[in-house]
Chains A and B, each alone.
Chain A
Amino acid sequence: MSIGEPIGLTEKQCEGEARLRRLHPEGFAQLKRTIEAAWSQSDREVLELCRRRMAQLLSRRRDVEPIALTGGGVSLPAAKLAELPSWDSSSEFTDDEKAHLAICEQFVTSVREVGDLDVERLRQTRSESEIYAFASALYVLELSERSILALTRVGEST
């Protein structure tokens, strides 16, 4: 997947978030609680790397901000952020981070093609319950991002 010009969509993305909050308040509140639980059970720096990489892949843009709703208040080093689009060949990332990012990319582009070897790489440093929590956190953040983007783009009736 190619990454194009930088763009910031935060203001537009807020429209989809506001739309879900207004039209499905119980669902929005539950989505927020689920996102908070995802952060509470994750390696927060790794999850933030994945959240930002997911937003890049979904927008096909390098400098896009993920939607605010999925944020966990984690700051990453600028050098790491700059190299995130090319994490696979970068020395800024540890083997563990690369193993997580590899799963993250496959999760976004075609989850059916996540391979046993991809998961095996995570097992070098993570327990089965940690791997399950990571895959669950990816789901929560990615589907939140996808649905809010779609609700932003579908717009309001006139």
Chain B
Amino acid sequence: MFYDTPLDFEIEELARVAMRAQEVDPLLTEVVRLRCAEYHDCRICSSLRIVDAVAEGLDEGMRAEIRNYETSDLDARLKVALRFVDAIIIEPESLGEDLAGEMRAHFTEAQIAEIAYDVVKWSFQKTLVCLRIEQPPWEGPAGLSFDESGETVITVA
């Protein structure tokens, strides 16, 4: 982190806690992450791909579909999750009973809580975008994975 302050440390720990949680599969985690990255216009986040999600079938076509997910071929479960993400990052008060019911139909309560927490984790990008300090130091996509403690590991090809 940039200044190694107690706040920087706690934000890093918040990220590790999020990545140690196991209620949600890597593909869903990645779709949520990419939606946050796109909406907030984070260049470094957009340049990353979660390695385990790629192994589960995420490809560049699927990634492109996230932008207009409502009219995409993404499966219903992913679309519902993306609507929930949008409600959080755009306008939480717009989250109505229809979406609430869809979330409860597709996800357990623990999964819903984990998705919400993941949105908090990924949205740290807002700090970087606000100050425009999120230019990736590499070219092209890089691999993103996490060790057992939840620590981020970036692999540049």
Contact = CB atoms under 8 A, between A and B. Distances in A.
Chain A contact patch, size range: 35 or more
Nearest to A38: B7
A147 B88 CA distance: 6
Interface stretch (B50-58, B63-71, B104-112): B104-112
B119 A111 contact: no
A103 interface: yes
Interface in A28-42: 30-31, 33-34, 36-38, 40-41
B10 A37 contact: yes
Contact of B88 (A30, A150, A156): A150
A115 to B, nearest CB: 9
B124 A24 contact: no
Given A23-B109, A143-B119, A107 B126 contact: yes
Chain B contact patch, size range: 35 or more
- Interface of chain B: mostly helix, strand, loop or mixed: helix
A157 B104 contact: yes
B29 interface: no
Given A58-B92, A137-B7, A103 B13 contact: no
Given A27-B21, A31-B120, A146-B88, A40 B127 contact: no
Given A135-B131, A151-B112, A34 B89 contact: no
| Most central of B8, B96, B116 by chain A CB within 10 Å | B116
A131 interface: yes
B7 A40 contact: yes
Given A111-B129, A150-B95, A154-B100, A133 B7 contact: yes
Interface in B10-40: 10-11, 13-14, 17-18, 20-21, 40
Given A131-B131, A154-B104, A157-B109, A30 B10 contact: yes
A129 B8 CA distance: 11
22 contacts: A20-B113, A24-B21, A24-B114, A26-B21, A27-B14, A31-B120, A33-B13, A41-B7, A111-B129, A114-B129, A114-B130, A129-B3, A133-B5, A143-B119, A143-B120, A146-B92, A149-B92, A149-B93, A151-B112, A154-B104, A154-B112, A157-B104
Interface of B: 2-3, 5-11, 13-14, 17-18, 20-21, 40-41, 84, 87-89, 91-93, 95-96, 99-100, 103-104, 108-110, 112-114, 116-117, 119-120, 123-124, 126-127, 129-132
